[in-house]
Structure 1
Amino acid sequence: MQFSVYQESHIGGRKVNQDRMGYSFTRDALLLLLADGMGGHLRGEMAAAIAMQTIGTLFQQNATPYIKKPERFLEDSFCAAHREILRYRDSNNLPETPRTTIVACLVQHNHAMWAHCGDSRLYWMRNGQILARTRDHSRIETLIAQGKVDPSERETHPDRNKLFNCLGAPNLPIVEISRRCNLQPGDVMLLCSDGLWSMLPDHILAQRLHDSTIVRAVPELLANAIGIGGKHSDNATALAMMWQGSNSLTDTSTIITNTLPVGAVTSTIQELPTADSAEVATEVDAFNDDEIEKAIEEIRNAIQKSSRITSRN
Structure 2
Amino acid sequence: MQFSVYQQSHIGGRKVNQDRMGYSFTRDALLLVLADGMGGHLRGEIAATIALQTISMLFRMQAKPYVRKPERFLEEALQQAHRDINDYAARHQLPDTPRTTVVACLVQHNYAIWAHCGDSRLYWLRRNQILARTRDHSHLEYLIEKGRATEAERNTHPDRNKLYNCLGASGTPKVELSRQASLEPGDVLLLCSDGLWGMLPDTEIVHRLSTSTLVQAIPDMVSMAAAIGGARADNTTALGIMWQGADVPGAATDNVISTQMLPEDGVSTTITAGQPAPSETDAFDEDEIEKAIAEIREAIEKSSQLLK
User: Does TM, normalized by the shorter one, top 0.5?
Assistant: yes
Task: Quote the Cα distance in structure 2 between the aligned partners of 1:275 and 1:305.
Answer: 28
Residue segments in structure 2 that go unaligned for 5+ positions in a row: none
Match of 1:44 in 2: 44
Amino acid at match of 2:83: R
Match of 1:263 in 2: 265
Amino acid at match of 2:207: Q
TM-score after normalising by structure 2: 0.97
Contact kept, 8 Å, 2:50 with 2:81, in 1: the verdict is: yes
Query: How far apart are 1:272 and its partner, in Å?
Result: 1.4
Query: How far apart are 1:290 and its partner, in Å?
Result: 5.0
Query: How far apart are 1:293 and its partner, in Å?
Result: 3.0
Structure 1 residues 275 and 52: alpha-carbon distance in aligned structure 2, compared to 1, 3 A threshold: closer
1:159-198 to structure 2, matched below 5 A, reads: 159-198=159-198
Cα deviation digits, residues 233-286 of structure 1 (max 9, x gap): 110000000000137743211111122110000000122142434x124xxxx2
Task: Quote the Cα distance in structure 1 between the aligned partners of 2:122 and 2:58.
Answer: 21
Query: How far apart are 1:62 and its partner, in Å?
Result: 0.2
Pairing partner for 1:302 from 272, 291, 299? 299
Match of 2:288 in 1: 291
Contact kept, 8 Å, 2:140 with 2:162, in 1: the verdict is: yes
TM-score after normalising by structure 1: 0.95
Query: How far apart are 1:23 and its partner, in Å?
Result: 0.1
CA RMSD in angstroms comes to: 1.3
Give the secondary structure class of the aligned counterpart of 1:240. strand
Contact kept, 8 Å, 2:274 with 2:287, in 1: the verdict is: no
Identical counterparts, % of pairs: 63
Task: Quote the Cα distance in structure 2 between the aligned partners of 1:76 and 1:178.
Answer: 15
Give the secondary structure class of the aligned counterpart of 1:237. strand
Structure 1 residues 91 and 156: alpha-carbon distance in aligned structure 2, compared to 1, 3 A threshold: same
How many residue pairs get aligned? The number is 306
Match of 1:280 in 2: 281
Match of 2:206 in 1: 206
Match of 1:116 in 2: 116
Task: Quote the Cα distance in structure 2 between the aligned partners of 1:85 and 1:205.
Answer: 32
1:123-134 to structure 2, matched below 5 A, reads: 123-134=123-134
Task: Quote the Cα distance in structure 2 between the aligned partners of 1:128 and 1:107.
Answer: 21
Amino acid at match of 2:97: T
Amino acid at match of 1:132: A
Task: Quote the Cα distance in structure 2 between the aligned partners of 1:30 and 1:276.
Answer: 24
Amino acid at match of 1:280: T
Cα deviation digits, residues 58-92 of structure 1 (max 9, x gap): 00000000000000000000000000000000111
Match of 1:25 in 2: 25
Query: How far apart are 1:291 and its partner, in Å?
Result: 3.3
Residue segments in structure 1 that go unaligned for 5+ positions in a row: none
Give the secondary structure class of the aligned counterpart of 2:278. helix
Give the secondary structure class of the aligned counterpart of 1:41. coil
Cα deviation digits, residues 16-72 of structure 1 (max 9, x gap): 000000000000000000000000000000000000000000000000000000000
Match of 2:256 in 1: 254
Task: Quote the Cα distance in structure 1 between the aligned partners of 2:299 and 2:153.
Answer: 44
